Amino acid sequence: MNAILEVKALGKTFPVRNLFGRTKGGVSAVDNVSFSLGAQGTLGIVGESGCGKSTLARLLMRLIEPDAGEVNYRNRNILELSGRPLKEVRRQIQMVFQNPYSSLDPHMSVLDNVAFSLWANGVSKGEARKAAYEYLDAVGLSRTHADRMPGSLSGGQRQRVAIARALILKPEIVIADEAVSALDKSVQAQVLNLFQDLKKEFALSLLFISHDLHVVEYMSDEVMVMYLGRVVEKGPTERIFSRPAHPYTQALLASAPSLDVEQAGGAPALAGELPSPLHPPSGCRFRTRCPLATERCAQTVPALTDVGPGHQAACLLLEESRTA
């Protein structure tokens, strides 16, 4: 499987200014994140809220400018592009946003919301609307929905509209940023299946961002776990879920609600709050909540080490057991 999107050491620190506009520190939102997305594969990104998932998505889309790193789309670093070539590449990477109540313009009809993407790329109004009908059809919305305002649609229907809008530019990569989090469970399932169907139909590569482990497990071929802006573990979905290597992943999996009573208990659940990204812990950022943390964890930043085929985790304990 060749990679369609390769991200290398991507980083972003938001400056924090004091009253007089002088920089007094920074929030390290995304730090040294690398991954690759295989063509027509699905990479799931999990983590608690505030761990930098959404920032990562916006960095890839260049809605926020990264400070460091590379984003290579088909071997071209899109961070170096500007003007027309950037516009061309942007079309290939589209995004479905988190909040279906904010991602559609309430003053535009559903049809125009979808058609807008094409207008922005110089397609005539009539043609864009014709295409928009087709894509609304593809996401399971009938013509009767097209003339309505988004205000009269349900959350699930709105998210379908948002998906149609992303697809109408015929992208190769779709980034779904918490795309089902705002929906009811039953509607979630429908939208997830829709994603699966569309992925096959349009040969998409998916970057699926969610805090919901079940959703990610269901959707992804590969999973990347993030904690406070850093990647703590990544690997094939079955391996991550059956043999999690990093203490954080283990704790996350243990804390996920499960119907299986037998499996409940075991690994310790996560205690405490996510530390402030303004002053992240030194060394391993997870050490303040890690049951296995030692003194060394405060001094050394753990690197990603191989723990299995295609499976990497960033933990000093794992590094030790490798070298020992």
- Please, which residue, 119 or 202, has the CB nearer to other proteins? 119
Query: Which tokens in the block code for residue 100?
Result: 């279906």
Shortest spacing between CB 106 and other proteins, in angstroms = 5
- Please, which residue, 195 or 241, has the CB nearer to other proteins? 195
- Please, which residue, 179 or 316, has the CB nearer to other proteins? 179
Q: Can you tell me the distance from the alpha carbon of 69 to that of 185, in angstroms, rounded to the nearest whole number?
A: 37
Shortest spacing between CB 30 and other proteins, in angstroms = 17
Shortest spacing between CB 216 and other proteins, in angstroms = 21
Task: Determine contact, residues 190/108, Cβ cutoff 8 Å.
Answer: no
Q: Can you tell me the distance from the alpha carbon of 110 to that of 119, in angstroms, rounded to the nearest whole number?
A: 14
Residue with tokens 């593809």, as numbered in its chain: 138
- Please, which residue, 72 or 190, has the CB nearer to other proteins? 190
Q: Which phi and psi angles does 104 have, rounded to 5°?
A: -115, 140
- Please, which residue, 131 or 166, has the CB nearer to other proteins? 166
Please name which of 174, 212, 169, 162 lies closest in space to residue 57, comparing C-alpha atoms: 174
Shortest spacing between CB 18 and other proteins, in angstroms = 17
- Please, which residue, 153 or 316, has the CB nearer to other proteins? 153
Given the rule CB under 8 A, which residues bind other proteins? 58, 61, 63, 87, 90-91, 93-95, 97-99, 101-108, 113, 116-117, 119-121, 140, 142-144, 147-152, 162, 165-166, 169, 190, 193-194, 197
The number of residues in the chain equals 324
Shortest spacing between CB 291 and other proteins, in angstroms = 38
Strand bridging mode 205-209 / 42-46: parallel
Please name which of 43, 45, 49, 44 lies closest in space to residue 29, comparing C-alpha atoms: 49
Task: Determine contact, residues 100/162, Cβ cutoff 8 Å.
Answer: yes
Shortest spacing between CB 73 and other proteins, in angstroms = 14
Amino acid symbol at 280: P
- Please, which residue, 58 or 287, has the CB nearer to other proteins? 58
DSSP-derived letter for residue 146 is H
Query: Which tokens in the block code for residue 221?
Result: 């071929």
Shortest spacing between CB 3 and other proteins, in angstroms = 21
